[in-house]
């Protein structure tokens, strides 16, 4: 190990090791195999699922399965097979994949982890550790002590969004510390007259934008913009110009590097529907939900009470001890502690907004673009990061022993706020009330344990902070913070399943017999989007955004469909089989040949319709065949013979000019070639593709490329070039850039 690297490891090795071990400890119930939170067992193919030690669910939002795992796995498989995941043949009648954004198809290299069966767990652990390391580096860059940086990094690594979400809404927050670190590093380099600085800022911006949820990235970007303005205000003279140049180069490079993901998404939005997400300016936490922000274990694991009330719109929580430490940092903040005031102002404003305070909400709605952001979920990572910074500042003040920390007053303030939240929950009928339909089981055990645990952690922290800081007391305080974080983080995992196994015989049958045909699942025997996971084409789809032309076509399949994004919602209705029978011709025209139903509730078999032939009888699933399903490739005219290699490649031999109909949804970006010559694609009266065929042998190829892909490629190359020219040592641009904006350190110190 080089001498410089060895010195760095001696300095920061303990912190790095502690952060890794803390994350692994939080996932110990899963890593040990005691329980599993793998959402694939809820795909309809899981059998023998025994309940875990606690009631409830591992996550608040089930999209971690149908969206992140299923579609993310499909993206990873396409990357590993050497193709860009632009299109998904296995959902609906074909849909854009990377442009849907939530699967995070361009979230490289992290998305490759979803190739593995337990990829969701591996991805979450990886990103948590990275978030902790980035937060540690960011806090150190702010000039805080190692003990403070370790505590703050642990608080962000084990934050409430990771505990409750664990899917794409949490992932952009991983790179918020890297973004703030890049801004502070750029400022320090500018003050010293040194080159460099844009690289971490560009990397943070780029990864944040491709991580899957633009709403979370938008909120984090607002915080980064405010932090950049503050950094420019704190910097004077020519160093300010240098800092502006570094921030501009890093930000532009990061945005440009994310263009292959962002531009197709923006183009897809113009042709898609968002449903209720089209305007969320009135979204806020419900009456009685404030307690979930401050005392997360009061209601147990997510949905442990059997109702969705306490968890609707929830996106994370604040640890009680971290909250007390954050308030403490502000009580003795000096006027020059500008970043502390920014962090507190950010937390205060958005907490007021998500709780429904009128003034904050009016200011929030006035911000451009925020009316489509559900801040109750997507503002939480930035709030949690700011509270982690403030908590680290309190420990730094104590470590320096320069100022007395007013932790007892902060604890009283937090207790008062907590009491108001408890009263709010009681008035909403969530605590100290008889069981009702909305609150089937009392929460006394969880509530009492949560209050006692939070009080114990705060009392121990107060005892330590009131004494002179020593190495042992610093270690003890960090351990208390870690324990206070690990308990509520681990609680949801205890709601996982035990002794599960998979019955994949239904998908094995379909992969063997379906060919290019499609399947339709009734009763969620193969839950929505999991056809993409198992490489089985199904018309059930749950996507946001979703192409309008597919929504229009859905009306032929079921006139009672909600017309938004959930084609699976009516597949779970008791009347779904009746609807299928009434609209069987429309399903067959879409290429649906197989229907999956629950064996215990065979609604299709109860119809006694000879048009549905039973062909498979499994442990949980029964499959029926509709022989009248239209073939994927069909010839009009000819006659012709077809030799199909896959959905995108085939050869034909025609005795006369003919027309080839293909049951794939036409969408801007599809191209066809016949014998390497471009062939125009026409669309029938529905949504499917057609091309003209010449007589004789023809080799046909179909290819999808988003219309914005060429521009995105150019922007990506431009971003990489900007980054290389401004950071790579020895390049002429870097030399000119640094010589123009450089100044001696002594002069900078005088001006600043």
Cβ atoms 351, 383 nearer than 8 A: yes
DSSP-assigned letter for residue 570: G
* Torsion region of 563: left, alpha or beta (phi above 0 gives left; psi -120 to 50 gives alpha): left
pLDDT in tens, 662-716: 999 999 999 999 998 998 988 766 789 999 999 999 999 999 999 999 999 999 9
**CA neighbor of 484 nearest in space, from 126, 18, 26, 20:** 26
Instruction: Give the rounded percent of residues in the chain with a pLDDT score beyond 90.
Output: 34
pLDDT at 256: 93
- DSSP string of 528-559, one letter each residue: TTHHHHTT--BS--B-SSEEHHHHHHHHHH-T
Cβ atoms 400, 310 nearer than 8 A: no
pLDDT at 432: 59
Handedness of CA 147, 151, 154, 156 (dihedral sign): negative
- The first and second tokens of residue 646, run together, are 């896959």
Cβ atoms 712, 210 nearer than 8 A: no
pLDDT at 507: 92
- Strand pairing class (640-644; 46-47): unpaired
Burial class for 416, CB neighbours closer than 10 Å (0-12, 13-18, 19+): exposed
pLDDT at 239: 86
pTM: 0.89
- The first and second tokens of residue 724, run together, are 């290389």
**CA neighbor of 348 nearest in space, from 316, 319, 375, 386:** 386
Whether residue 370 is predicted with pLDDT greater than 90 in this model: the reply is: no
Whether residue 438 is predicted with pLDDT greater than 70 in this model: the reply is: no
Alpha-carbon gap, residue 405 to 328, rounded angstroms: 7
Alpha-carbon gap, residue 47 to 414, rounded angstroms: 45
Report the half-sphere exposure of 502 (CA within 13 A, side-chain side): 15
pLDDT at 43: 87
Whether residue 78 is predicted with pLDDT greater than 80 in this model: the reply is: yes
- The first and second tokens of residue 414, run together, are 């937090």
Whether residue 1 is predicted with pLDDT greater than 50 in this model: the reply is: no
Buried b (16+ CB within 10 A) or exposed e, 597-616: bbeeebbbeeeeeeebeeeb
- Residues 6+ away with beta carbon under 8 Å from 298: 291, 292, 425, 431, 443, 446, 447, 450, 451
Cβ atoms 319, 485 nearer than 8 A: yes
**CA neighbor of 719 nearest in space, from 234, 196, 250:** 250
Q: In the block, which residue shows the tokens 């990377």?
A: 98
Alpha-carbon gap, residue 60 to 704, rounded angstroms: 35
305-319, 463-477, 513-527, 732-746: which range is least confident on average? 732-746
Alpha-carbon gap, residue 160 to 385, rounded angstroms: 11
Q: How high is the mean pLDDT of the chain? A: 83
pLDDT in tens, 334-361: 777 889 899 998 988 888 887 777 777 7
pLDDT at 736: 45
- The first and second tokens of residue 408, run together, are 């007892």
Phi and psi of 143, rounded to 5°? 95, 15
Cβ atoms 63, 540 nearer than 8 A: no
pLDDT at 275: 64
Handedness of CA 600, 57, 418, 168 (dihedral sign): negative
- The first and second tokens of residue 428, run together, are 């909403």
| Paired strand residues for 658 | 637, 693
- Strand pairing class (592-598; 518-521): parallel
Report the half-sphere exposure of 247 (CA within 13 A, side-chain side): 25
Range 374-396 average pLDDT: 88
Cβ atoms 399, 477 nearer than 8 A: no
**CA neighbor of 60 nearest in space, from 163, 161, 164:** 164
Whether residue 741 is predicted with pLDDT greater than 50 in this model: the reply is: no
Alpha-carbon gap, residue 144 to 396, rounded angstroms: 6
- DSSP string of 607-637, one letter each residue: G--TTSEEEEE-SSEEEEE-TTPPPSEEEEE
pLDDT at 553: 86
Task: Decide: helix, strand or coil at residue 686.
Answer: coil
Cβ atoms 679, 690 nearer than 8 A: no
DSSP-assigned letter for residue 66: I
- The first and second tokens of residue 217, run together, are 């990235």
**CA neighbor of 23 nearest in space, from 482, 445, 412:** 482
Cβ atoms 674, 667 nearer than 8 A: no
Residue 309: other Cβ atoms inside 10 A? 18
Alpha-carbon gap, residue 558 to 581, rounded angstroms: 11
List Cα–Cα distances, 82 to 68, 85, 105, 707, in angstroms: 21, 9, 13, 21
Instruction: Give the rounded percent of residues in the chain with a pLDDT score beyond 70.
Output: 84
**CA neighbor of 705 nearest in space, from 668, 679, 678:** 668
- Sorted by where each begins, the domain ranges of the chain are 504-625, 633-666+670-704
- Residues 6+ away with beta carbon under 8 Å from 129: 19, 20, 23, 157
- Residues 6+ away with beta carbon under 8 Å from 174: 127, 128, 130, 131, 134, 207, 208, 211
Residue of higher predicted confidence among 175 and 570: 175
Q: What band does 263 get if pLDDT is binned at 50, 70 and 90?
A: very high
Whether residue 132 is predicted with pLDDT greater than 80 in this model: the reply is: yes
- The first and second tokens of residue 737, run together, are 């850039």
List Cα–Cα distances, 359 to 102, 155, 218, 355, 376, in angstroms: 32, 30, 21, 11, 16
User: C-alpha 708: how far from its chain's center?
Assistant: 23
Alpha-carbon gap, residue 41 to 504, rounded angstroms: 11
- DSSP string of 304-352, one letter each residue: TTSSSGGGTT------HHHHHHHHHHHHT--TT-HHHHHHHHHHHHHHH
- The first and second tokens of residue 181, run together, are 């670190």
Handedness of CA 291, 292, 295, 301 (dihedral sign): positive
List Cα–Cα distances, 548 to 95, 100, 361, 369, 395, in angstroms: 11, 13, 31, 22, 53
pLDDT in tens, 269-286: 888 877 656 555 556 676
- Residues found in the chain: 752
- Strand pairing class (682-683; 688-693): antiparallel
Inter-axis angle of helices 709-727 and 198-210, to 10 degrees? Answer: 160
- The first and second tokens of residue 251, run together, are 């930000």
Dmax (CA) of the chain? 94
pLDDT in tens, 221-242: 989 999 999 999 988 888 888 8
């Amino acid at each position: 190990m080089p001498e410089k690297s060895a010195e760095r490891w001696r300095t920061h090795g303990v912190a790095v090791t502690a952060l890794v071990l803390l994350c692994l400890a939080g996932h110990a119930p899963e890593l040990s195999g005691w329980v599993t939170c793998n959402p694939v067992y809820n795909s309809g193919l899981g059998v023998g699922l025994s309940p875990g030690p606690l009631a409830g669910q591992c996550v608040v939002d089930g999209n971690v399965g149908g969206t992140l795992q299923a579609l993310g796995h499909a993206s990873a498989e396409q990357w590993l097979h050497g193709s860009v995941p632009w299109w998904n043949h296995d959902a609906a009648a074909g849909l854009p994949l990377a442009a849907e954004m939530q699967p995070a198809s361009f979230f490289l290299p992290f998305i490759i982890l979803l190739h593995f069966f337990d990829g969701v767990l591996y991805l979450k652990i990886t990103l948590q550790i990275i978030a902790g390391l980035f937060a540690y580096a960011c806090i150190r860059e702010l000039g805080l002590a190692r003990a403070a940086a370790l505590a703050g990094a642990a608080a962000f690594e084990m934050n409430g969004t990771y505990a409750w979400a664990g899917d794409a809404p949490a992932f952009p927050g991983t790179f918020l510390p890297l973004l703030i670190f890049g801004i502070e590093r750029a400022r320090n380099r500018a003050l010293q007259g040194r080159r460099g600085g844009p690289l971490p800022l560009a990397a943070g911006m780029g990864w944040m934008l491709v991580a899957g949820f633009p709403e979370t990235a938008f909120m984090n970007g607002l915080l980064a913009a405010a932090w950049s303005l503050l950094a420019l205000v704190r910097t004077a003279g020519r160093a300010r110009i240098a800092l502006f140049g570094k921030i501009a180069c890093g930000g532009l490079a990061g945005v440009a590097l994310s263009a292959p993901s962002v531009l197709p998404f923006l183009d897809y939005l113009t042709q898609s529907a968002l449903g209720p997400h089209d305007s969320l300016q009135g979204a806020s936490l419900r009456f009685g939900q404030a307690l979930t922000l401050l005392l997360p274990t009061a209601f147990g694991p997510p949905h442990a009470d059997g109702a969705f009330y306490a968890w609707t719109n929830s996106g994370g929580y604040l640890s009680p001890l971290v909250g007390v430490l954050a308030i403490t940092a502000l009580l003795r903040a000096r006027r020059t502690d500008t970043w502390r005031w920014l962090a507190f102002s950010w937390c205060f404003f958005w907490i007021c907004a998500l709780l429904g305070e009128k003034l904050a909400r009016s200011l929030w709605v006035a911000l451009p673009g925020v009316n489509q952001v559900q801040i109750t979920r997507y503002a939480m990572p930035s709030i949690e990061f700011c509270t982690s910074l403030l908590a680290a500042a309190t420990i730094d003040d104590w470590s320096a022993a320069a100022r007395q920390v007013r932790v007892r007053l902060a604890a009283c303030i937090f207790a008062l706020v907590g009491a108001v939240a408890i009263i709010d929950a009681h008035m909403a009928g969530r605590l100290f009330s008889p069981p009702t339909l909305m609150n089937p089981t009392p929460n006394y055990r969880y509530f009492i344990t949560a209050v006692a645990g939070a009080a114990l952690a705060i009392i121990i922290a107060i005892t330590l902070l009131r004494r002179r800081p020593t190495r042992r007391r610093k270690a003890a305080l960090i351990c208390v913070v870690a324990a206070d974080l690990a308990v509520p983080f681990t609680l949801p995992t205890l709601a996982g399943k035990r002794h599960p196994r998979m019955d994949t015989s239904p998908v094995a049958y379909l992969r063997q017999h379906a060919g290019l045909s499609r399947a339709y699942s009734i009763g969620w025997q193969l839950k929505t989007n999991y056809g993409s996971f198992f490489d089985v084409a199904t018309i059930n789809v749950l996507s946001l955004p979703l192409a309008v032309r597919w929504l229009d076509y859905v009306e032929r399949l079921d006139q009672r469909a909600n017309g938004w994004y959930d084609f699976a919602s009516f597949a779970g209705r008791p009347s779904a089989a009746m609807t299928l029978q009434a609209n069987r011709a429309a399903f067959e025209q879409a290429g649906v040949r197989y229907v999956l139903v629950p064996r215990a509730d065979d609604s299709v078999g109860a119809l006694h319709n000879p048009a549905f032939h039973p062909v498979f009888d499994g442990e949980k699933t029964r499959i029926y065949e509709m022989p009248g399903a239209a073939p994927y490739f069909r010839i009009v005219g000819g006659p012709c013979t077809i030799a199909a290699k896959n959905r995108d490649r085939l050869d034909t031999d025609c005795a006369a000019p003919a027309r080839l109909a293909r049951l794939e949804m036409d969408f801007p970006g599809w191209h066809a070639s016949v014998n390497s010559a471009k062939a125009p694609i026409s669309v029938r009266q529905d949504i499917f593709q057609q091309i003209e065929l010449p007589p004789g042998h023809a080799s046909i190829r179909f290819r999808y490329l988003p219309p914005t892909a060429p521009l995105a490629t150019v922007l990506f190359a431009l971003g990489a070039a900007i980054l290389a020219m401004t950071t790579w040592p020895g390049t002429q641009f870097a030399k000119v850039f640094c010589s123009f904006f450089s100044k001696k350190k002594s002069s900078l110190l005088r001006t600043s």
